[in-house]
Amino acid sequence: MNETATLRARAEIDLAALRANVRTLRARASGAQLMAVVKSDAYGHGAVPCARAALEAGATWLGTATPQEALALRAAGIGGRVMCWLWTPGGPWREAVEADIDVSVSGMWALDEVVAAATAAGVPARIQLKADTGLGRSGCQPADWPELVSAARAAEDAGTLRITGLWSHFACADEPGHPSIAAQLHVFRDMVAYAEKEGVTPEVRHIANSPATLTLPESHFDLVRTGIAMYGISPSPELGTPADFGLRPVMTLAASVALVKRVPPGHGISYGHHYTTTAETTLALIPLGYADGIPRHASGRGPVLVGGAVRRIAGRVAMDQFVVDLGGAPLAAGAEAVLFGPGDRGEPSAEDWAVAADTIAYEIVTRIGTRVPRVHVHEDSGRD
Ligand SMILES: Cc1ncc(COP(=O)(O)O)c(C=O)c1O
């Protein structure tokens, strides 16, 4: 028996699949560089091993939301270009500058803080100016762009920083034909042209996330930033399945059945008794719950491959466990229950869980808790 088979539960992370996905995405990226987005612990897949695997497969940038995530990559010995974009006042600007991290700047307060940090460190900062081209989230509004560009250019001329990128983010790239896509591209081109006219010479201009990488070649510019597709999940079921894009799901979530027992008809199951057995039957106890990231909202609906068939959760998901009604199927404690994976054995997908929990597959993989060990397999790229 292999060592991981004895675990209560595990998220197996297939790094060969991740590397293959990176290569597939690069081939679709019109010659642009690829940033592997490894924020939020690589969407729950483990930031450091996934970052390494993505770099091996040809990614040239890593992207994180918070500076702490970016610094953690450096602390793990990961070199190359790393960019982070979610800053708050008083953040670790100096540490980021000293760790050679490209930092995003959306407004004047951030520019002031990065200039102060670079001056104190005696090292020029690398900044990327973020434009709000219509997402309405972070980024500099078009009306405020001239002031930000002018101040950043002045700091660049003074040698305090280098403007390495101009970038933005889509609101509706997963809805091909949505009018905001063309509108955002138009605004992005205008804002880039303005900055370049003012003397900015960016290494990279970028706006494309996974759906744009897969469906919008005109959005690829110099760099695409892929997250979900790299983990083998389609950005949206309406766009296609992972297989339609040549992608393979990277995470398999499985557990060891904790208990199998016979119960009589009319037996209530789990908190609130929202499920009652209709006949004498066999129950399997699956030792994963909402504390592990199994959505309580998927109570009564979440699919699991166990005992040779895909079955639905019986009753409520509890903090640490849920129950499946096996009907007449024989099973022993210790048998494997697969919640989702690439589908080779007929197991459900993360997308199936998203449907069951009325959410998106991004949330399903990202929310798997720290109590579930990540088991990275196929780390050796020599066999690809
Ligand atoms: C700024 C930014 N770029 C790129 C991505 C990657 O998006 P996706 O996972 O759709 O590829 C994200 C994730 O939400 C993001 O916040």
Q: Spell out the residues 6+ positions from residue 35 whose beta carbon is closer than 8 angstroms to its own.
A: 59, 60, 61, 62, 63, 83, 206, 223, 224, 225, 226
Q: pLDDT confidence of 1, banded at 50, 70, 90?
A: very low
| Closest-lying ligand 1 atom to the alpha carbon of residue 225 | 4
Ligand 1 centre to CA of 346 (Å) is 29
Q: Spell out the residues 6+ positions from residue 46 whose beta carbon is closer than 8 angstroms to its own.
A: 13, 374, 376
Q: How far apart are CA 56 and CA 220, in angstroms?
A: 21
Ligand 1 centre to CA of 315 (Å) is 35
Q: What is the per-residue pLDDT for 328?
A: 83
pLDDT tens digits for range 369-380: 999 999 999 998
CB count within 10 Å of CB 255 equals: 26
pLDDT tens digits for range 133-179: 999 999 999 999 999 999 999 999 999 999 999 999 999 999 999 99
Whether 37 lines ligand 1, by a CB cut-off of 6 Å, is yes
Ligand 1 centre to CA of 209 (Å) is 5
Whether 21 lines ligand 1, by a CB cut-off of 6 Å, is no
Ligand 1 centre to CA of 65 (Å) is 9
CB count within 10 Å of CB 17 equals: 23
Q: Is the pLDDT of residue 337 over 50?
A: yes
Active-site position among 39, 43, 130, 362: 39
Instruction: Respond yes or no: is residue 261 known to be catalytic.
Output: no
Q: Spell out the residues 6+ positions from residue 256 whose beta carbon is closer than 8 angstroms to its own.
A: 5, 6, 7, 8, 9, 287, 333, 334, 335, 336, 337
Q: Is the pLDDT of residue 180 over 70?
A: yes
**Percent with pLDDT over 70 in the chain:** 98
Whether 139 lines ligand 1, by a CB cut-off of 6 Å, is no
Q: In what order do the strands lie in the sheet with 259-263?
A: 259-263, 281-286, 322-327, 309-314, 303-306, 336-340, 251-256, 9-14, 374-377
Q: How far apart are CA 345 and CA 96, in angstroms?
A: 44
Active-site position among 43, 231, 271, 275: 271
Cβ–Cβ < 8 Å for 307, 327? no
- 148's tokens: 């930000």
Q: Which helix (H) or strand (E) holds 317?
A: none
Whether 256 lines ligand 1, by a CB cut-off of 6 Å, is no
Best residue among 25, 34, 37, 215 to mutate for probing ligand 1, ranked by most atoms within 8 Å of CB = 37
- DSSP 8-state assignment for residue 140: B
Whether 270 lines ligand 1, by a CB cut-off of 6 Å, is no
Q: How far apart are CA 121 and CA 103, in angstroms?
A: 15
Q: pLDDT confidence of 332, banded at 50, 70, 90?
A: very high
The residue whose CA is least distant from atom 16 of ligand 1 is 65
Q: Give whole-number Cα distances, 333 to 6, 15, 309, 327, in Å.
A: 11, 29, 16, 16
In terms of Cα–Cα distance, which of 173, 204, 186, 249 is closest to 34? 204
**Percent with pLDDT over 90 in the chain:** 96
Q: Which helix (H) or strand (E) holds 163?
A: strand 161-167
Structure-derived torsion over alpha carbons of residues 147, 152, 153, 158, reported in degrees to the nearest 10? 130
Q: Is the pLDDT of residue 200 over 70?
A: yes
Structure-derived torsion over alpha carbons of residues 192, 99, 60, 211, reported in degrees to the nearest 10? -60
pLDDT tens digits for range 52-70: 999 999 999 999 999 999 9
Q: Which helix (H) or strand (E) holds 231?
A: none
219-242 average pLDDT score? 97
Instruction: Respond yes or no: is residue 271 known to be catalytic.
Output: yes
Phi-psi sector, 45: left (phi>0), alpha (psi -120 to 50), beta: alpha
Ligand 1 centre to CA of 299 (Å) is 29
In terms of Cα–Cα distance, which of 301, 312, 319 is closest to 337? 312
pLDDT tens digits for range 94-128: 999 999 999 999 999 999 999 999 999 999 999 99
Task: Say which residue the tokens 């695409």 belong to.
Answer: 224
Q: Is the pLDDT of residue 5 over 60?
A: no
In terms of Cα–Cα distance, which of 303, 301, 318, 309 is closest to 348? 303
Q: Is the pLDDT of residue 6 over 80?
A: no
| Closest-lying ligand 1 atom to the alpha carbon of residue 85 | 1
